[in-house]
Structure 1
């Protein structure tokens, strides 16, 4: 109604057409960049949509929480921030309650102010160091039978807040040669330990606070939308595995062999199984308690289990079809060095259509993709 252009992925889904547009948009992004990017805005914002379905639960605690949810969803839609997810704490000794060890092992509230709540602890967050905000919430509910807990809180963290500290893992980009690692050198979302060192969260950013019922509800519904985007990226990974394996057997002239075709067919069935679940989950979508349209939950989660539980088997099949050369092929520098280039040109050239550099590129891609 505003006439503004907005990101398709950020729009709360209310129709099958919305979901078709989201799926097409994600495919367009992945096709354009030529790989699988973990976050394109479609997964992490879906976790916030789940809060719309929890409005009744939030209203029982404090009606302002539901208003905060609505305002942040509107902000995501119109301002298009880079929004990430903060789930996992260091946790410490998980045989103990957080209260029985260093309390900072789980993120918790240390005090209230007129402006908001002050929190301490840490979260592991992918892409946090270059994001605008994070939906921060608990992962485990080991507060026992308590109705109230300083660990049961959820909020939107402004990643420029005073007191936040970012400790990043080593990145792949810049540490790996793109010619030898064409996938991981381009598609790396750096994981970060984000330390909350007495960070103040304004009241308008608090989505629930101290109520274990709300926290439990949020954990139970967190992925009812975001699982779609997660599973869709598994579908794209299946496409890439099939492509790498198929080009390999074509290069080596094995694509007509029955045993090879059966392995390719297994990969294709895995791919189409994921596709079928995604398609059916939208065709049989269900209205949510908050008035959104959520993918059919049974079909969506079944598709997610299919994609994840069989992934390792499919990767092994793809490795078999690519052959043992993917793990023993020298780097590009060896292919270019005058002392070794003649030998590698000789043994890696297949015919006039597939020369050594073609073979090297495919093997490097397959190794990086599958390892």
Structure 2
């Protein structure tokens, strides 16, 4: 993969231009000519461009977020760093903290998240090489390529919801599959969901489907990377959740609606150099935790920032309507703080308990249990803010209402708050409504519940892998003799 023209860390201007690459993006039955210029996507593109420029605006931010590539000398994103010491691991996650803080914890597919998946792919390269000569080298080369070009990536892991009671072995359209092999690579056919950030990404990584562990399903097991403008790849976007032209502002959705998409692979050819694994169920299952070793920590850091935002929103809502001294409200805000603090300590613990992987990198301790806990408490967090904001979440004036001279006296008299004017109160409640009430908030909550994987299946895996041996032995010893009164 060519890095001869790579420029290293992305800038806002380069990012905007990079999205005009002929990709086939569909929205509401129409093909989008240029993602960066489309009204439904422009706000998110602007936000990413802002973040890319802000990341290197000051010397302190550049030092935090970038390092010099040992191969090209380009400044590259620290999200792609391969940590081998505790100092390098801390520096890596300090960059993750920057991304999540600056995006208020709202970007589940921030570039930092998927860059860390690519770090996991690199870490697994020796096992991939042993499986098939060249596959491990492809993983190493792809990490280098993505880092040197500072690619924005998505992944597409779910199979289409056609008939979950049926097997792809009976109906192959139920899962993405290889339909041809040739000297150039493989040809694939099928669909994948949900590719979060797809229209705003440069490439997609695919490394999971529902039949990965199914015997006889080898044709459905494939890991690869593909540019979003690949011939035969169609990107179908859901309804946008930002500005909708009805007078009500969407300060979060306009900036952070990262989109979700179905990907249709209409006999798409994947070159051999972009393939990392084929037709090995066991190696695929084993590799999933390795790929997520760093991205899981990135997810925890993001969700912690999201919880911090909820704490501030809840506390300010309570203050704005004079209920902050009520015992029940204080308990509600305190409960929110307890979740944020629990996660903060879990993040610190995973980093402090870092282990060296078989690939020689230093990774946070496995923390899937913390992830499934996060998925559960997310709904409770939303419920608590709804309780505090109550009916005020529904009825707030728009900016146009606030600017209307005939309405202004009534708004100032009846819609002001406790030591807060009507303008700031309306905007505060508008942010809260986006978090817990409208389509953007509903999508974010569903995302929190699902994106770490099915919680039930995850807990079952925890049961199978949790080491009970020491306590089991002590308990067995305890009950092996009569229990004295």
So what's the TM-score if we normalise by structure 2? Answer: 0.71
* Of 111, 116, 121, the match for 1:51: 121
CA-to-partner distance for each residue in 1:130-154, whole Å, 9 max, x for gaps?
Answer: 31111112321267323x6110111
So what's the TM-score if we normalise by structure 1? Answer: 0.91
* Of 53, 60, 64, the match for 2:134: 64
CA-to-partner distance for each residue in 1:17-75, whole Å, 9 max, x for gaps?
Answer: 23322332233234444562222222223333333443453233212100100101111
- Which runs of structure 2 are paired with 1:174-323 in the superposition (5 Å)? 174-175=243-244, 180-297=249-366, 300-323=367-390
CA-to-partner distance for each residue in 1:182-228, whole Å, 9 max, x for gaps?
Answer: 21122111111111111110000010112222222233544222111
Structure 1 residues 53 and 109 mapped into 2: Cα distance closer, same or farther (>3 Å)?
same
Q: Secondary structure at the match of 1:126?
A: coil
Does structure 2 conserve the Cα–Cα contact (< 8 Å) formed by 1:183 and 1:365? yes
How far apart are the structure 1 equivalents of 2:212 and 2:149? 36
CA-to-partner distance for each residue in 1:143-172, whole Å, 9 max, x for gaps?
Answer: 7323x6110111111222111112111212
Structure 2 residue 436 is the aligned partner of structure 1 residue 366 = no
User: Which residue of 2 is the match for residue 83 of structure 1?
Assistant: 153
Q: Structure 2 regions of 5+ residues with no counterpart?
A: 1-69, 438-485
Of 249-258 and 159-168, the range deviating more from structure 2? 249-258
Q: What CA RMSD, in Å, does the superposition of the two structures yield over aligned residues?
A: 2.2
Does structure 2 conserve the Cα–Cα contact (< 8 Å) formed by 1:138 and 1:151? no
Does structure 1 conserve the Cα–Cα contact (< 8 Å) formed by 2:80 and 2:147? yes
Alignment size in residue pairs: 366
Does structure 1 conserve the Cα–Cα contact (< 8 Å) formed by 2:232 and 2:267? yes
* Higher-RCO chain (CA-CA 8 Å, sequence separation at least 6): 1
Of 234-243 and 5-14, the range deviating more from structure 2? 5-14
Of 212-221 and 126-135, the range deviating more from structure 2? 212-221
Does structure 1 conserve the Cα–Cα contact (< 8 Å) formed by 2:129 and 2:137? no
* Of 328, 345, 352, the match for 2:412: 345
* Of 154, 162, 169, the match for 2:238: 169
Q: Secondary structure at the match of 1:6?
A: strand
Does structure 2 conserve the Cα–Cα contact (< 8 Å) formed by 1:97 and 1:143? no
How far apart are the structure 1 equivalents of 2:87 and 2:389? 39
- Which runs of structure 2 are paired with 1:319-334 in the superposition (5 Å)? 319-334=386-401
How far apart are the structure 2 equivalents of 1:177 and 1:4? 45
Of 41-50 and 81-90, the range deviating more from structure 2? 41-50
* Of 74, 88, 97, the match for 1:27: 97
Of 14-23 and 282-291, the range deviating more from structure 2? 14-23
How far apart are the structure 2 equivalents of 1:358 and 1:221? 46
User: Which residue of 1 is the match for residue 482 of structure 2?
Assistant: none
How far apart are the structure 2 equivalents of 1:248 and 1:366? 8
Does structure 1 conserve the Cα–Cα contact (< 8 Å) formed by 2:80 and 2:118? no
Structure 1 residues 178 and 239 mapped into 2: Cα distance closer, same or farther (>3 Å)?
farther
Structure 2 residue 190 is the aligned partner of structure 1 residue 118 = no
How far apart are 1:249 and its partner, in Å? 1.9
